[in-house]
Amino acid sequence: MESRYRAAEAAQFVETYGPRWGEDLALRVYTSRLLGQDPDLVLHGGGNTSVKTRVTELVGDTTEVLYVKGSGWDLGAIEPDGFPACRLAQLRRLCELPSMTDEQMVSLLRSHMLEPSAPTPSVEALLHAYLPFKYIDHTHADAVLDIVDQPGSNQLVREVFGDRVLFIPYVMPGFALAKKVADLWRALTRAGREPNVMILDKHGIFTWGETAMESYERMIANVTRAEHWIEEATALSRRTISSPSPDACARLAPMIRGALARASGERWICSFRMTPQMVSFCDRNDLDEITQLGPATPDHVLRTKPKPLLLPPLSPDDRHKTKATLDAAISEYAEQYRAYFRRCSAARPGERRELDPWPRVLLIEGLGAFTAGKTRKDAEITADIYEHTTGVIEQATANAGYEPASELDIFDVEYWSLEQAKLKKSAGAGKPLDRHVAFVTGAASGIGFATARALLAAGAHVALTDRDEEALERAAQSLVEAHSDRVFLLPCDVTSKDDVRVAIRKATLRFGGLDVVVSNAGAAFEGPIHGEQGDSALRASLEVNLLGHQNVARFASDVLIQQGSGGVLLFNASKSAFNQGPDFGPYAIPKAALVALTRQYAVDLAPYGIRSNAVNADRIRTGIFGGGMLEARARARGVGVDEYFRANLLRRETTAADVAQAFVYLATAEATTGCVITVDGGNAAAFPR
């Protein structure tokens, strides 16, 4: 492990943040990011850092404060606002109390903050306050976990880090840990042995210094010592495993996602992790033993649950057998989790709300890990954490063996009263399409883009596709910036079966399946249908405006059927399906057929719980009217351009956003199928019959 501290970068942070926040905090932000951006040290919100300094309060008093990482902040992207300032003297007095509940600790921490609106300080704030150093760093370095997750970790730690290490037997984070450290620290210093590094069993490492660079580089040096020891002590070899088939994974993903939905009554956003490390790990002969011992550190249980679900090789070709295997395995996992809750609750009296019993990590022989969460970000975080866990397990197993924290210690963190309190705060109604996956064609502009934006606003994860990849990237830039984990951009020409098949496969792998499919892509064709020119225009229009929709519906319905948890196909038809206009037959005829296609899918897919509906829009200002077509259509109706858009019963121009809201409604209308909704301001001649 190499230091990434650069004096010029540190100076830039001082220049940026120093004038408002002071040099001490500016440098604290810099080295915190260095730690947080290295996944071998810190993963997704883990770890914490602090600095002790002086600030001048509004009334002019100079106060010694502890800036410590706030709850919910990720070290890799932390800002000065992410370090709430607490009055140091009061925090140190709290460390001397004989006892304190976690709730009392959090309340007292907040009562000693300088800024009441700042985030809640880390639960390890008291520990940071007690240690007599200016800068303090804490990480869950993989190399350290490789050592402390073995039998005899106390002796191993002294062998690796020397006589000046302070080894802390596992204690749950919070007040109890701060008190334990304070007691052991006093005993060591009375004996004239001031520690130079602190290792927490089954947890991680603390380093410190009088400068940000000193504390950071001590972290790097000590983790490097652990890495060197592991290299010398462990002969770890991995078998080379052939890469899994993305096509097989894409076909299995909706089946697994559907099984989770059937069992839990909830939809999940899922992800396949098929890295060589994960696939090789899933091929171990002792997988059923080592994976059931627990996470690498108890904190990880909040993401991964205590154990993963192990699955045998699965075949997407045998849908009935795979479905039965998945349903049985998930049911058994849930029963084992409930037994774990009952067992540990009996040993830890107190009132608790039992958490859901569904797996977050599913290990599949030959394929890797399938992870589940409320969002794509959740699923990816879980995959990252478990992939690092596999490395820790393998290193420890290749040495003295893997011995993580006990079941009760893991349970204590999973059912921590502070975590239980978060459940109450997060309870409440979400957005209507939370945990849904949508697929939208023709999303680079007009109705498609407006629909994608509306689906995102309703909570969905959305795959946006268009044949013009550059236009799609330009149009969707703002969506990607605002919803990076919920947006997926894909090139797709709906007239190409291969394009559609690949796009749906990629979207399925990205999110685990599909729920809402908006087949929107289309093109306008005009002119009389009689004669050779009309024949060629009609054939070209049929390819886009009918068969393109069939391509999307065909491959999407395969996924929805495999998933087995319903879903909806939505088509962008047109009022032309009911009210043809002069010289617009090449467009109107395929759109009329599209309404028939919608209704046929409603009939054919109803046994699977899959709905099929359409929106008939009219006269929307989109690119479809380019190349003089708008003026031509207005002339055909005998009106001017602006009047053309308002020529409806409501005398109101209909927008792409209006159409998008109709798609969102149909996406949530669980009892509606075979329906055509008109969004045209009112056109009596086009009323559906």
Residue whose structure tokens are 């859901």: 356
Alpha carbon distances (Å) from 374 to 51, 244, 261, 419: 35, 26, 12, 17
Confirm if 258 and 178 have CB atoms less than 8 A apart: no
Q: Residue 40: CB partners within 8 Å, gap ≥ 6? A: 1, 141, 142, 143, 223, 388
Is 67 among the residues known to form the active site? no
Strands 204-209 and 197-200: antiparallel
DSSP class of residue 65 equals E
Q: Which helix (H) or strand (E) holds 51?
A: strand 48-56
Confirm if 556 and 504 have CB atoms less than 8 A apart: yes
Q: How far apart are CA 10 and CA 8, in angstroms?
A: 5
Alpha helices, DSSP H only, in 237-347? Answer: 246-264, 276-281, 287-290, 301-304, 319-347
Alpha carbon distances (Å) from 98 to 90, 104, 124, 349: 15, 13, 17, 22
Alpha carbon distances (Å) from 67 to 27, 49, 80, 265, 296: 12, 8, 9, 43, 28
- Residue 303's closest CA among 228, 398, 382, 187? 382
DSSP class of residue 584 equals B
23 CB-side CA count, 13 A: 5
How long a stretch of residues is the chain? 689
640 CB-side CA count, 13 A: 2
Q: Which helix (H) or strand (E) holds 167?
A: strand 165-168
Q: Residue 451: CB partners within 8 Å, gap ≥ 6? A: 440, 443, 518, 520, 656, 659, 660, 663, 664
Q: How far apart are CA 394 and CA 296, in angstroms?
A: 11
* Surface-to-core class of residue 186, CB atoms within 10 Å of its CB (0-12 exposed, 13-18 middle, 19+ buried): exposed
Q: How far apart are CA 506 and CA 492, in angstroms?
A: 11
Provide φ and ψ at 430, rounded to 5°: -95, -160
Helix (H, G, I), strand (E, B) or coil at 85: strand
Given phi > 0 = left and psi -120 to 50 = alpha, else beta, which region is 583? left
- Which residue out of 30, 587, 601, 644 is catalytically annotated? 587
Active-site positions read 587
